[in-house]
Protein backbone atom coordinates (compact mmCIF):
# COMPACT_ATOMS: atom_id res chain seq x y z
CA UNK A 1 0.00 0.00 0.00
CA UNK A 2 1.47 3.38 -0.96
CA UNK A 3 2.35 5.91 1.70
CA UNK A 4 -0.19 8.74 1.99
CA UNK A 5 0.96 12.37 1.85
CA UNK A 6 -1.29 15.42 2.23
CA UNK A 7 -0.17 18.60 0.47
CA UNK A 8 -1.51 21.80 2.06
CA UNK A 9 -0.82 24.96 0.05
CA UNK A 10 -3.04 27.88 -0.94
CA UNK A 11 -1.17 28.23 -4.24
CA UNK A 12 -3.17 25.75 -6.30
CA UNK A 13 -0.58 25.35 -9.06
CA UNK A 14 2.23 24.57 -6.62
CA UNK A 15 0.04 22.22 -4.60
CA UNK A 16 -1.14 20.32 -7.66
CA UNK A 17 2.38 20.02 -9.06
CA UNK A 18 3.62 18.63 -5.74
CA UNK A 19 0.75 16.13 -5.84
CA UNK A 20 1.71 15.05 -9.37
CA UNK A 21 5.35 14.58 -8.35
CA UNK A 22 4.36 12.55 -5.29
CA UNK A 23 2.03 10.36 -7.31
CA UNK A 24 4.75 9.78 -9.94
CA UNK A 25 7.09 8.67 -7.14
CA UNK A 26 4.56 6.09 -5.92
CA UNK A 27 2.88 7.99 -3.09
CA UNK A 28 -0.83 8.47 -2.59
CA UNK A 29 -1.17 12.25 -2.64
CA UNK A 30 -4.10 14.34 -1.49
CA UNK A 31 -4.05 18.07 -2.21
CA UNK A 32 -5.94 20.68 -0.19
CA UNK A 33 -5.73 24.44 -0.38
CA UNK A 34 -6.03 25.80 3.16
CA UNK A 35 -5.06 25.00 6.73
CA UNK A 36 -8.55 24.06 7.88
CA UNK A 37 -8.92 21.53 5.06
CA UNK A 38 -5.46 20.18 5.84
CA UNK A 39 -6.37 19.59 9.48
CA UNK A 40 -9.65 17.93 8.51
CA UNK A 41 -7.94 15.67 5.95
CA UNK A 42 -5.25 14.69 8.45
CA UNK A 43 -7.84 13.81 11.10
CA UNK A 44 -9.91 11.77 8.63
CA UNK A 45 -7.11 9.86 6.94
CA UNK A 46 -4.02 10.04 9.19
CA UNK A 47 -1.33 10.52 6.53
CA UNK A 48 2.22 9.23 6.63
CA UNK A 49 3.48 12.81 6.04
CA UNK A 50 2.19 16.34 5.44
CA UNK A 51 3.70 18.93 3.11
CA UNK A 52 2.63 22.26 4.54
CA UNK A 53 2.89 25.82 3.26
CA UNK A 54 3.96 28.31 5.89
CA UNK A 55 1.95 31.35 4.77
CA UNK A 56 -1.74 30.75 4.14
CA UNK A 57 -4.82 32.86 4.86
CA UNK A 58 -6.94 32.17 7.95
CA UNK A 59 -4.73 29.47 9.50
CA UNK A 60 -1.00 29.60 8.77
CA UNK A 61 1.25 26.57 8.62
CA UNK A 62 2.75 27.04 12.07
CA UNK A 63 -0.74 27.05 13.58
CA UNK A 64 -1.66 23.92 11.62
CA UNK A 65 1.51 22.22 12.86
CA UNK A 66 0.73 23.22 16.45
CA UNK A 67 -2.80 21.82 16.21
CA UNK A 68 -1.48 18.57 14.73
CA UNK A 69 0.91 18.23 17.68
CA UNK A 70 -2.02 18.61 20.10
CA UNK A 71 -3.87 15.63 18.60
CA UNK A 72 -2.60 12.32 20.03
CA UNK A 73 -3.37 10.51 16.75
CA UNK A 74 -1.40 13.02 14.67
CA UNK A 75 1.43 14.06 16.98
CA UNK A 76 3.96 11.82 15.19
CA UNK A 77 2.97 12.62 11.59
CA UNK A 78 6.02 14.17 9.94
CA UNK A 79 5.54 17.73 8.69
CA UNK A 80 7.69 19.19 5.93
CA UNK A 81 7.27 22.90 5.31
CA UNK A 82 7.18 24.33 1.80
CA UNK A 83 7.53 28.09 1.74
CA UNK A 84 8.71 31.15 -0.08
CA UNK A 85 9.67 32.57 3.34
CA UNK A 86 13.44 32.26 3.56
CA UNK A 87 13.84 34.03 6.89
CA UNK A 88 15.82 32.03 9.42
CA UNK A 89 13.28 32.86 12.14
CA UNK A 90 10.54 31.05 10.16
CA UNK A 91 12.76 28.00 9.70
CA UNK A 92 13.66 28.04 13.39
CA UNK A 93 10.01 28.26 14.48
CA UNK A 94 9.06 25.38 12.19
CA UNK A 95 11.88 23.15 13.39
CA UNK A 96 11.31 23.95 17.07
CA UNK A 97 7.66 23.03 16.49
CA UNK A 98 8.75 19.58 15.32
CA UNK A 99 9.02 19.93 11.53
CA UNK A 100 11.04 17.20 9.82
CA UNK A 101 11.99 19.35 6.85
CA UNK A 102 11.90 22.84 5.41
CA UNK A 103 12.01 23.45 1.65
CA UNK A 104 12.06 26.92 0.17
CA UNK A 105 10.21 27.71 -3.04
CA UNK A 106 11.09 27.19 -5.74
CA UNK A 107 12.16 23.61 -5.08
CA UNK A 108 12.62 20.72 -7.46
CA UNK A 109 10.91 17.36 -7.64
CA UNK A 110 13.84 15.37 -6.30
CA UNK A 111 14.26 17.67 -3.27
CA UNK A 112 10.56 17.31 -2.47
CA UNK A 113 10.53 13.51 -2.86
CA UNK A 114 13.82 13.22 -0.95
CA UNK A 115 12.45 15.26 1.97
CA UNK A 116 9.32 13.09 2.17
CA UNK A 117 11.33 9.86 1.99
CA UNK A 118 13.70 11.06 4.71
CA UNK A 119 10.82 12.19 6.94
CA UNK A 120 9.03 8.84 6.76
CA UNK A 121 12.19 6.73 6.93
CA UNK A 122 11.87 5.36 3.41
CA UNK A 123 14.82 4.81 1.09
CA UNK A 124 15.35 7.95 -0.94
CA UNK A 125 14.95 7.71 -4.68
CA UNK A 126 15.13 10.05 -7.61
CA UNK A 127 12.04 11.05 -9.55
CA UNK A 128 14.01 12.32 -12.52
CA UNK A 129 17.59 11.67 -13.53
Residue pLDDT, tens place only, 62-100: 999 999 999 999 999 999 999 887 678 888 898 999 999
Give me the torsion for CA of 33, 120, 110, 13, rounded to 10°. Answer: 0
Q: Decide: 10 and 53 in contact? Cβ < 8 Å.
A: yes
Domain coordinates of the chain in residue numbers? 4-120
**9: nearest Cα among 68, 47, 51:** 51
What is the pLDDT, as a whole number, of residue 113?
Answer: 95
16-69 pLDDT tens trace: 999 999 999 999 999 999 999 999 999 999 999 999 999 999 999 999 999 999
Structural fold of domain 4-120 = Rossmann fold (3.40.50)
Provide the phi-psi class of 19: left if phi over 0, else alpha when psi is between -120 and 50, else beta. Answer: alpha
Amino acid sequence: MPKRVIVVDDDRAIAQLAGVWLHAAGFEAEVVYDGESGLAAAKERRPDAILLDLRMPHIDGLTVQSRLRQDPRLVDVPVIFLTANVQETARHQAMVGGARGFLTKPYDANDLIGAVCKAIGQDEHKLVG
